[in-house]
Chain A
Amino acid sequence: MAEALDLKAIGTRPIRPDGVEKVTGRANFGADMVLPGMIHAKVLRSPHAHARIKSVDVSRAAAMDGVYAAISGKDMPVEGANDLGINILARDKALYHGHAVAAVAARTPALAESALDLISVEYEELKPVLSIDEAIADGATLVNENMYTNGDRSQPPSNVAAMQTIERGDVEKGFAEADVVVENEYRVPTAHQGYIEPHACIASINEAGRATIWCCTQGQFDVRSMTAGVLNKKVSDIKVIPSEIGGGFGGKTTIYLEPVAVKLSELSGRPVKMVMSREEVFRATGPTSATLCRVKVGAKNDGTVTAATAWLAYEAGAFPGAPVGPGCMSVLAPYDLENLRIEGRDVLVNKPKVAAYRAPGAPQSMHAMECTMDDVARKIGMDPLDLRLKNAADEGTVAPYGPKFPAIGLVECLKAAKEHPNYLSKPADGVGRGVAVGFWFNIGMQSSAEVRIAENGAVTIMEGSPDIGGSRASMCLMASETLGVPYETINAHVGDTEATGFCNVTGGSRTTFATGLAVVQACEDIIAQCKERAALTWDLDVEQVDWQDGQAVPKPGVNADVSPLSLADIAGSAGRTGGPLLGRASLNAQGPGASFSVNWTDVEVDRDTGKVDVLAFTAVQDAGRAIHPAYVEGQMQGGAVQGLGWALNEEYIYDQNGVMENAGFLDYRVPVASDMPMIDCQIIEVPNPSHRYGVRGVGETPIVAPLAATSNAVRDALGFRINDLPLSPPRVLAALEENA
């Protein structure tokens, strides 16, 4: 898509339509909803990381004054006892510390909490499996006695739920041709998405079996289908109303509370509200995989990479499903390689079931690769950007996972980085600089949109993508551009499962791309209708009518003595020309377009305390087309800081019994304002040919490169490499002492 577009709205930075609600405290998030007659539920959680549940007795709790209902796993339908259902309420085994075992609904949250003490659970403690090394060792305790690697029952059961391999060329030959070979092993700990809003919902079910759920989620339709599955109900019996969402980063693409709340509502006849505590959020939701990655790269002295291998093991938690697949697919994706081999393992441990976290799987594996590339650059004495440029994937490169890349912007990002003043200025003495590349596939998937025109010409967009970071503004900008009407006349609404057409989750960096495309097409539907209405009004053929700058006009050369008709004109008289204007589109968007980034950071290490200070950070990323550049920068900056937090401090710290010792924001330390510098951004625009305006998703790529960029900067500052993350003061201090 080489032609320049004459854009009026896209690329501007207007105020988001939901902004005033959010700066005044009016916006309703998950925990803000109340219903008449509502009661409150709390969850009893396992005190053991691995235990057989011999019995659960909720009768004493159920009998307490003010308690309306109490349940355990055996009260849930057996048909819903899939991994999700068992994670929501344990059946015969508690699989991690914090695993939900029972729940109570009572008049107040405090009463529900105290009723939990009256539930008797008899456990038989089992040895917990707490690391990849333990899980894959011979004779390891099994997290799940019925787990066979890739379902192959000819082999004994295993904690390795799945294995996969990607191979190309001849890696042995490639390594033999190399002048230098670097091989290393890297560990990245469990980290949490750390959204500030804990999970919350209200469920109310009537006597006809129709349930309504209000909740904070990245996908109301997924809540509907998952809840239906766990409760063995029809999706058509459940309506899900998404609240505003206080962050998700992938962690709110699944469910924890909703089926329990519906069940308790059914038993009590009341609406049931559930709100997690921060401690529950840490212990029982979301984290992403701790990983063990081994990467080997061979290169010639001119920088040509001759072979690369990656061995990746990802903790899945207690149920299969670690993001090791995308970890494998992304680890070598930035490079055009002849010889490669990637092996992945999905490993069960007695820890919470992992959930998606921003570019799931990529930060960990690409941390290993990008650190290794940095060491290769040092060995051959090459600038780290030049080494990447020498091997960079570009349009036509066959990605390690199969397809040929269409137009991508990695080379453009690398070139922009090389010319960036922040890169041209050399770091001061004692300051280390580290570079890394980031990548994410992005996804398309299904979206629907409706565009409704009020009688004064005002535009209402009804769509199904929960707005997690300003997407309503992007939808309005694309509608403004397409219709040719002012941004201020447009509003966007996120509908519930019955108000809007089906829509996949806000995730995979798909919203501005896929739902945006649906909005654009729905606007084009409106334009087609407006031309018909104008043709009718003017007694012309529709082919004789054009749409220009928000008005119907006769095409050049058409002899008609008429004044242009604006959207408001046509909408105001719509009753005489066929009824209200209603545009629609639904699609399964193809060609989301990968987004590449280049990050670098300058750090200083305090050799007395081991503390790493981030002095500067620059992110360059291909956005295809930045619809609302401030929110694109916001994704880049937010992802950078999230990645810096993971690189520098964030980790789940477990004791020997598998109990997380830092389940709060005081001890699981996410970055605060005083830890961070400004995050400089440069948006590169290599348009995605699959989107009307060239959009490619930007939300996930930003978290990928900061891990290795930070590690490489610390390497540069210290003169030696620390392979594992986080680069927290204790680890850095220990490494300094070891290398003294």
Chain B
Amino acid sequence: MSKMHISTMVNGQPEEALCEPHQSLLDVLRDEMGLTGTKEGCGTGDCGACTVQLDGRLVCSCLVLGAEADGKEVTTIEGIANPDGLHVVQQKFLEHAALQCGICTPGFIVAAKALLDKDPDPDETTIRYWLAGNLCRCTGYDKIIRAVQDAAAELAQSS
């Protein structure tokens, strides 16, 4: 089977890759583009460690074919910080000790940023349901929720 050529925008930069038709977007990001910040925890869309944004929509990149990303925009964890420094969600994860092992963290941060982009003032229940597709086995979620709440508060103050 011959490889497919795809052209995408990844974190604002044009990226091209050759991929197998069966290769997931996750594998293309990790293996063909060297963007290993996006993690694989299950490969079946249950854990959210591979969460990225595809044309602004949150997806499990393990459930999207690489070929489907052709002509689309992808945002990964590597695209969350900016030249001025960390995004406020990243900073709050650090301040609140919202990570222990850190393997789920990229997926949580991409998902949490997407939530705050859409809903700058979510209540606790909204945050918990928005992040219900991201598994964390270390923290019990408490400090993750507080980090997102604090990030929302800080964004509200600075806007």
Query: Assuming A110-B22, A672-B132, A678-B145, is B39 touching A29 (CB within 8 A)?
Result: yes
B79-109 CB mask vs A (1 if < 8 Å, else 0) is 0110000100010011111011111111001
Query: Assuming A13-B97, A196-B104, A246-B103, is B20 touching A110 (CB within 8 A)?
Result: yes
Indicate if A579 sits at the interface (CB-CB under 8 A): no
- Give the Cβ gap from B103 to chain A, nearest Cβ, in Å: 3
Distance A673 CA – B127 CA, assembled complex (angstroms): 8
Q: Which residue of B has the minimal Cβ distance to A278?
A: B42
Q: Which residue in B40, B78, B132 is a CB contact (below 8 Å) of A673?
A: B132
Query: Assuming A23-B90, A277-B43, A665-B47, is B99 touching A247 (CB within 8 A)?
Result: no
* With A24-B86, A670-B135, A674-B128 already in contact, 15 other A-B pairs whose C-beta atoms are closer than 8 Å: A13-B97, A22-B99, A24-B37, A25-B37, A196-B47, A197-B101, A469-B138, A633-B142, A634-B143, A666-B46, A671-B140, A671-B141, A672-B133, A673-B145, A676-B140
Q: Is the CB of A631 within 8 A of B100?
A: yes
Query: Assuming A24-B80, A642-B137, A673-B132, is B40 touching A15 (CB within 8 A)?
Result: no
Q: Which residues of A contact B95 (CB under 8 A)?
A: 15
Indicate if B69 sits at the interface (CB-CB under 8 A): no
Distance A111 CA – B20 CA, assembled complex (angstroms): 12
- Give the Cβ gap from A37 to chain B, nearest Cβ, in Å: 15
Q: Is the CB of B94 within 8 A of A16?
A: yes
Distance A637 CA – B96 CA, assembled complex (angstroms): 13
Cβ contacts A to B, 9 pairs, < 8 Å: A23-B93, A23-B102, A196-B47, A196-B103, A245-B101, A672-B133, A672-B135, A673-B141, A673-B145
Q: How many residues of B contact A (CB 8 A)?
A: 57
Indicate if B10 sits at the interface (CB-CB under 8 A): no
- Give the Cβ gap from B112 to chain A, nearest Cβ, in Å: 11
A235-251 CB mask vs B (1 if < 8 Å, else 0) is 00000000011111100
Indicate if B41 sits at the interface (CB-CB under 8 A): yes
Q: Is the CB of A244 within 8 A of B102?
A: yes
Distance A198 CA – B49 CA, assembled complex (angstroms): 12
Q: Could you tell me which residues of chain B, from 106 to 147, have a CB within 8 Å of some CB in chain A?
A: 106, 109, 125, 127-129, 131-146
Q: Is the CB of A24 within 8 A of B138?
A: no
Distance A22 CA – B138 CA, assembled complex (angstroms): 14
Q: Is the CB of A247 within 8 A of B140?
A: no
Query: Assuming A31-B40, A642-B137, A673-B127, is B100 touching A468 (CB within 8 A)?
Result: yes
Q: 7 tightest A-B contacts by CB?
A: A25-B37, A246-B103, A641-B140, A637-B140, A22-B102, A665-B46, A25-B77
Indicate if A153 sits at the interface (CB-CB under 8 A): no
Q: Is the CB of B77 within 8 A of A673?
A: no
> Which positions in B face A, CB cutoff 8 Å?
20, 22, 30, 35-44, 46-47, 49, 76-78, 80-81, 86, 90, 93-97, 99-106, 109, 125, 127-129, 131-146
Q: Which residue in B37, B78, B103 is a CB contact (below 8 Å) of A247?
A: B103
Indicate if A664 sits at the interface (CB-CB under 8 A): yes
Distance A517 CA – B38 CA, assembled complex (angstroms): 36
Q: Which residue of A has the minimal Cβ distance to B45?
A: A666
A265-305 CB mask vs B (1 if < 8 Å, else 0) is 00000000001011000000000000000000000000000
- Give the Cβ gap from B125 to chain A, nearest Cβ, in Å: 8
Distance A437 CA – B139 CA, assembled complex (angstroms): 21
Q: Which residue of A has the minimal Cβ distance to B131?
A: A673
Indicate if A194 sits at the interface (CB-CB under 8 A): yes
- Give the Cβ gap from A24 to chain B, nearest Cβ, in Å: 6
Indicate if A63 sits at the interface (CB-CB under 8 A): no
Q: Which of A198, A277, A665, A673 has the most CB of B within 10 A?
A: A673
Q: Which residue of B has the minimal Cβ distance to A193?
A: B137
Query: Assuming A15-B94, A665-B46, A673-B145, is B36 touching A25 (CB within 8 A)?
Result: yes
Q: Which residue of A has the minimal Cβ distance to B92?
A: A23
Q: Which residues of A contact B37 (CB under 8 A)?
A: 24-26
Distance A640 CA – B145 CA, assembled complex (angstroms): 16
Q: Which residue of A has the minimal Cβ distance to B130?
A: A673
A670-704 CB mask vs B (1 if < 8 Å, else 0) is 11111110110000000000000000000000000
Q: Which residue of A has the minimal Cβ distance to B95?
A: A15
Q: Which residues of A contact B146 (CB under 8 A)?
A: 678
Distance A674 CA – B137 CA, assembled complex (angstroms): 14
